């Protein structure tokens, strides 16, 4: 599996170099079919003959992924494709040729054979492709399936607005709120200690590898805690509410560094860096993504509204003033004197903005 993942990484990097050289020379890029023809030649060359040991379909999938990455870049949907590093996101994908035996918890991969696995849940529908990936020393398989689903009708008629924050992860327009587990903040000191130890070890030595794997396991634990919290929260929200309204938050802009330049240094750089860590630790975009597809499954709807002035607008009289929010957690209208928790007031405004009638 490691060799196959390494072959996929090699093909990606080699094809990316060829794409760059072709574009610099002719101003054009190669399509998937041209790269697939090059792949046949690489297998015949003596230096790259090891590619013939890997299944052709997983290498072809790499070229398809690269072609899709270029199309996304030119369509302004993603950044420019980057080279893959060894030990980072090792994976390969079988579009066909695999056999799934759920009864005995095993799966057949071409040129690997039968492999036993621990099943997390039953596979529904017809398996279409399987992705094999390495994370923190453990191998995972993800089975993509196809099945027919009837148009769902949500059992609830409830509507709710959600205000995202750092002190409170989510505050709802009905007054309830959810606190964030702060998974990264919880293990930040431990992670810093391990990373300092890693910097003192000889690179690629045995002890360096062991410590690196330990850091990877800790990162995996942090991500698992965050994902578990997000899935449980979004599932509860989607089951109880048919319409959910959230803000269109630009996390990249909100977490931008305030360090500035040598000529024009920024202000409160250390405090802003801490705020950026807390913002990125929340997983706001993943929360929005999960809400979108889970509401679709259940027959609900997700509305996204602009975030401007939601925290400065009085939900009672509609007055918009920056002085309405004298403190982070307190809202007091300067016009009518209405008082409420600031996040709760913003959530009510978000709901009204998304459902004006």
Dihedrals φ, ψ of 96, to 5°? -165, 175
Q: How far is CA 257 from the centre of its chain?
A: 21
Nearest-10 Cα torsion for 31, 36, 40, 41 = 20
Catalytic position from the list 247, 248, 263, 286: 247
- Has 247 been annotated as catalytic? yes
Q: N- to C-terminal Cα distance for the chain? A: 56
Catalytic position from the list 19, 67, 281, 343: 343
- Is 286 in contact with 280 (CB distance < 8 Å)? no
**Counts for the chain of helices (H) and strands (E), in that order:** 9, 13
Dihedrals φ, ψ of 274, to 5°? -65, -40
- Has 46 been annotated as catalytic? no
- Is 183 in contact with 286 (CB distance < 8 Å)? no
Who contacts 165 (Cβ-Cβ below 8 Å, separation ≥6)?
171, 343
Who contacts 52 (Cβ-Cβ below 8 Å, separation ≥6)?
43
Catalytic position from the list 65, 163, 174, 281: 163
* Nearest-angstrom CA–CA distance, 246 and 315: 16
As given in the structure block, the two tokens for residue 327 are: 């403190």
- Has 228 been annotated as catalytic? no
* Nearest-angstrom CA–CA distance, 305 and 185: 29
Please return the burial class of 273, using the count of CB atoms within 10 Å of its CB with bins 0-12, 13-18 and 19+.
middle
- Is 43 in contact with 93 (CB distance < 8 Å)? no
DSSP character for 312? T
* Nearest-angstrom CA–CA distance, 299 and 269: 45
Over its C-alpha atoms, the chain yields an Rg (Å, rounded) of: 25
Catalytic residue numbers?
163, 247, 343
């Amino acid at each position: 599996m490691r060799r196959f993942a390494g072959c996929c990484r090699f093909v990606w990097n080699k094809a990316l170099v060829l794409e760059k050289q072709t574009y610099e020379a002719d101003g054009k890029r190669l399509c998937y079919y041209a790269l697939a023809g090059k792949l046949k030649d690489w297998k015949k060359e003596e230096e790259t003959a090891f590619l013939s040991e890997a299944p052709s379909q997983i290498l072809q999938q790499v070229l398809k992924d690269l072609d899709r990455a270029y199309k996304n870049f030119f369509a302004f949907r993603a950044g420019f494709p980057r080279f893959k590093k060894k030990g980072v996101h090792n994976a390969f994908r079988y579009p066909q040729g695999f056999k799934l035996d759920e009864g005995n918890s095993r799966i057949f991969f071409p040129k690997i054979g039968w492999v036993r696995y621990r099943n997390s849940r039953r596979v529904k529908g017809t398996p279409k492709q399987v992705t094999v990936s390495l994370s923190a020393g453990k191998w995972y398989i993800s089975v993509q399936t196809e099945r027919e689903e009837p148009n769902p009708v949500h059992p609830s008629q409830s509507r709710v607005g959600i205000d995202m924050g750092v002190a409170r992860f989510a505050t709802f327009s009905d007054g309830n709120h959810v606190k964030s587990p702060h998974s990264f903040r919880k293990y930040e000191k431990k992670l810093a200690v391990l990373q300092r130890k890693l910097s003192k070890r000889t690179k690629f030595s045995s002890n360096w590898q062991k410590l690196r794997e330990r850091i990877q396991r800790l990162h995996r634990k942090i991500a698992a805690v965050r994902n578990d919290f997000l899935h449980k929260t979004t599932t509860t929200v989607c089951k109880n509410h048919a319409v959910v309204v959230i803000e269109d938050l630009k996390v990249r802009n909100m977490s931008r560094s305030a360090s500035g330049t040598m000529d024009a240094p920024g202000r409160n750089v250390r405090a802003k860096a801490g705020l950026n860590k807390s913002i990125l630790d929340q997983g706001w975009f993943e929360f929005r993504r999960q809400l979108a597809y889970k509401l679709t499954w259940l027959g609900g709807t997700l509305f996204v509204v602009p975030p401007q002035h939601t925290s400065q607008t009085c939900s009672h009289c509609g007055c918009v003033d920056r002085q309405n929010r004298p403190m982070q957690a307190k809202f007091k209208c300067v016009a009518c004197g209405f008082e409420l928790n600031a996040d709760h007031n913003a959530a009510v405004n978000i709901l009204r903005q998304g459902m004006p009638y």
